[in-house]
């Protein structure tokens, strides 16, 4: 009987805690989806789509176009949010970042259709402005990023294999 009374005494606290927002999950719902980073016109044209998924995945497909070169990159990362800070932990990527490397961005503005982020380090980085793409499925961006990574890896293997010489 004593145990039952202790459980009853804890019930109001359990219900109260269940109503408190969990900042790492519920507060991130406004960030979920696909975002298109807007080109700022400060160099080569960059086209990037970033998908934030509820399971903590952050997938990025990025294309850079310039007169002298074109680059394509894919990122399969993890993300977490604490208040206005988003921490990205790098996973498999073609950008040369080591797996496990972390970067943190500060949310400067977040609305239904606009996301502005400022990298916290290095501090000389400029504000990244993105707009939401409501009709794009986040999984599609993850598939595209994985496809880019697979192509990149296949090209590296060909470059390292002496039997594939074009001579």
pLDDT in tens, 92-148: 999 899 999 999 999 999 999 999 999 997 666 788 899 999 999 999 999 999 999
Mapping DSSP to helix (H, G, I), strand (E, B) and coil, where does residue 135 land?
Answer: coil
Q: Specify the pTM.
A: 0.76
Q: Tell me the C-alpha distance between 56 and 35, whole Å.
A: 15
Is the previous residue joined to 122 through a cis bond, with omega within 30 degrees of 0? yes
The tens digit of pLDDT for each residue in 37-79 reads 987 667 788 889 999 999 999 999 999 888 888 889 999 999 9
Q: Would the CA dihedral through 69, 152, 144, 128 be positive or negative?
A: negative
Query: Nearest CA to 29 among 112, 105, 119, 87?
Result: 112
* 22-161 is classed CATH 2.40.128.280: yes
Cβ proximity of 45 and 62 under 8 Å: no
């Amino acid at each position: 009987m004593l145990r039952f009374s202790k459980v009853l005494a804890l019930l109001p606290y359990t219900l109260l805690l269940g109503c408190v927002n969990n900042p790492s999950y519920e507060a991130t719902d406004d960030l979920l989806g696909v975002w298109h980073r807007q080109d700022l016109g400060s160099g080569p044209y960059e086209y990037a789509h970033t998908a934030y998924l509820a399971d903590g995945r952050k997938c990025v497909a990025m294309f850079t176009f310039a007169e002298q070169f074109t680059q394509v990159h894919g990122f399969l990362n993890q993300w977490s949010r604490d208040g206005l800070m988003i921490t990205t932990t790098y996973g498999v990527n073609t950008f040369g970042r080591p797996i496990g490397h972390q970067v943190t961005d500060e949310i400067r503005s977040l609305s239904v259709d606009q996301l502005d982020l400022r990298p916290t380090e290095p501090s000389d980085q400029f504000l990244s402005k993105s707009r939401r793409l409501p009709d794009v499925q986040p999984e599609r961006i993850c598939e595209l990023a994985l496809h880019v990574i697979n192509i990149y890896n296949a090209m590296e293997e060909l470059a390292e294999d002496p039997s594939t010489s074009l001579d």
